[in-house]
Amino acid sequence: MKALHIEPLALPFLALVLVLLFGAAQYANNLGFFFAFWLTALAIGGLIGLRTRLDRVQVKLVQIDSGFANTPLHIQLELSGAQGLWLDMALVSADATFSSTTRDIRQSEKNQPTQQLTLPQRPRGVHLAGNLRLSTRDHIGLLRVTRIYPLAGKHWVYPAPQGERPLPDMARPNESQGQDDFHGLRNYQAGDSPARIHWKSLAKSSPEHPVLRIKQFGSDTSAEPIPRVLDEALLLDLPLEARLSQLAAWILHCEHQQEPYALRLHSRPATQAGVGDAQRQLCLRLLAEAT
């Protein structure tokens, strides 16, 4: 979709040409006619092909940032066919409810084709990239032509990581194992239950070097805590946005400590436990999509 717009300079320029023509005709001044026709020729030369100049410009979405609310996010676009054009760029939503700050650029052979624009601040959620509005004008600045390019892409705005609630405790497997699944013995470790001490092996060990041994069962995994489950049900006394912000803060804390974790929202089953960029992105996207 293209549109032509009159620039503020157009009316003063037209008035100047008319004054020159009137003065030249009134006083038979050939120099006045010369300047009037010269300015008119410049204007016509600049307007020729103006409407079709943006037809050769192609726009490709390279990258769009996802991030936390109230933080600057950016979009990278690749422009081709814009060499030698003055371009005014702006991001506009599909329903025209927002428009980012415009940016004037001069595309030449030496310029990088990739351009970066700042996304407008949006609330938590999943948002479409919107449309790119490109404008160019004639060399004098009398008319401007504008074209809208739809961008196929979306980005996630995560809840701001805020909250003072402590992390939920790590769950541990049930230690009440039966005696029929005895697996063997291992060396004593600080924190082991005295009920698990194998006293017979202590009696058989050397008095100079006593060795404490612990009974270990086949299903006993008490030395390996279950990863933390960041459960929304623990925060039901808070409003929705406060709950999501607290969960986001817990996710960042677990990532910083490199502790495996899982996320459970009341409207979704728990995720697989893990840690790293993929786990962080998955959980934060779930928070952005939560309703």
pTM: 0.69
Number of H helices, E strands in the chain: 5, 15
Digitized pLDDT (tens) for each residue of the chain, 291 residues in all: 678 788 888 899 999 999 999 999 988 888 989 999 999 998 888 778 777 778 888 899 999 999 999 999 999 999 888 777 788 888 887 665 555 555 556 654 445 678 888 888 889 999 998 889 888 888 888 888 888 899 988 999 999 999 999 998 876 555 444 444 666 677 766 666 777 777 777 777 777 777 777 777 655 544 455 788 999 999 999 999 999 999 999 999 999 999 999 999 988 899 999 999 999 999 999 999 998
- Burial of 120: CB neighbours in 10 Å, binned 0-12, 13-18, 19+: middle
Return the CATH number of the domain spanning residue range 1-158. 2.60.40
Enumerate the domain spans of the chain: 1-158, 179-217, 228-289
**Nearest 10 degrees: Cα torsion 118, 123, 127, 129:** -20
